[in-house]
Amino acid sequence: MKLNKQKLPLIFEHGTKALFNGDDLQSAILLKADGKPVQQIKRIFKHGRYPAISISGKKTHIHKLLIEYYIGRQLKQKEVTHHANRLTYDARKENLEVWNRAIHASFHNKDKTLTADHRKKIGEANRKRKGVIKMPLRRNLPLATIISFRRDGWSINRIAHYFGVDWTTIKHRLVLVHENPELLEK
């Protein structure tokens, strides 16, 4: 990223009760802008449940912008920002922590129970999700055929596709044969 040589300090206007360090937020905005010009007056608004700011036409939550500035990198896909005091408007450095997404969800959802109707809706949404290939993971397959295909030079993926199973099923069967040669005699 290029260092933005903004001469005038940024002025923050907001109607939210957001808490943050203005100097850190200015530095984070200039770094995120990556050398592009930045308006001097920045309006802080509520986007969802969090205070946000617009940088080059893109809405960015302040807490995410600041934590990335503090740790010196972008958050990985499996990382989220946790507010230690649970106040979503508090984006001060001492209140922000980087957590694993799954652990964070578990932390905030413990002791919550889902109604049967809600579980049903989640299941339906998961079934409708695009891009998910659903193949049976395990199935009894003719071992002799698998070995024959391997001897003919077929890849594990090609055999798995032939039987309509996941490649791990084929790999598992071949490992069993390798570790237990007596299975070939059956």
Residues 89, 160, single domain; the answer is: no
Least confident of 12-16, 51-55, 92-96: 12-16
List for the chain the helix, strand, coil content (%; round to 5). 45, 20, 40
> Is residue 4 classed as helix, strand or coil in its secondary structure?
coil
Domain count, the chain: 2
Cα–Cα nearest to 173, from 185, 156, 158, 154: 156
Confirm whether 130 is domain-assigned. Answer: no
Residues 91, 17, single domain; the answer is: yes
Residues 41, 88, single domain; the answer is: yes
Q: Of 64, 94, 109, which one is at a domain's C-terminal end?
A: 109
Residues 31, 101, single domain; the answer is: yes
* Residue 75 DSSP label: P
CB 167, CB 156: distance < 8 Å: yes
Residues 55, 98, single domain; the answer is: yes
Q: Which of the two residues, 62 and 123, has the higher pLDDT score?
A: 62
Predicted confidence (pLDDT) per residue in 121-169, tens digit: 888 887 777 665 665 555 678 888 988 998 899 999 999 889 888 888 8
Residues 156, 87, single domain; the answer is: no
Average pLDDT over residues 11-22: 85
Residues with Cβ within 8 Å of 137's Cβ and at least 6 positions away in sequence, in order, are 165, 166, 168, 169
Confirm whether 137 is domain-assigned. Answer: no
Residues 93, 151, single domain; the answer is: no
Share of the chain above pLDDT 70, in %: 85
Q: Structural domain of residue 177, as residue ranges?
A: 143-185
Spell 77-101 as b/e; 16+ CB within 10 A means b.
eebbbbbeeeeebbbbeebbeeeee
**Global pTM value:** 0.59
Confirm whether 160 is domain-assigned. Answer: yes
- Tokens 């001469």 belong to 7
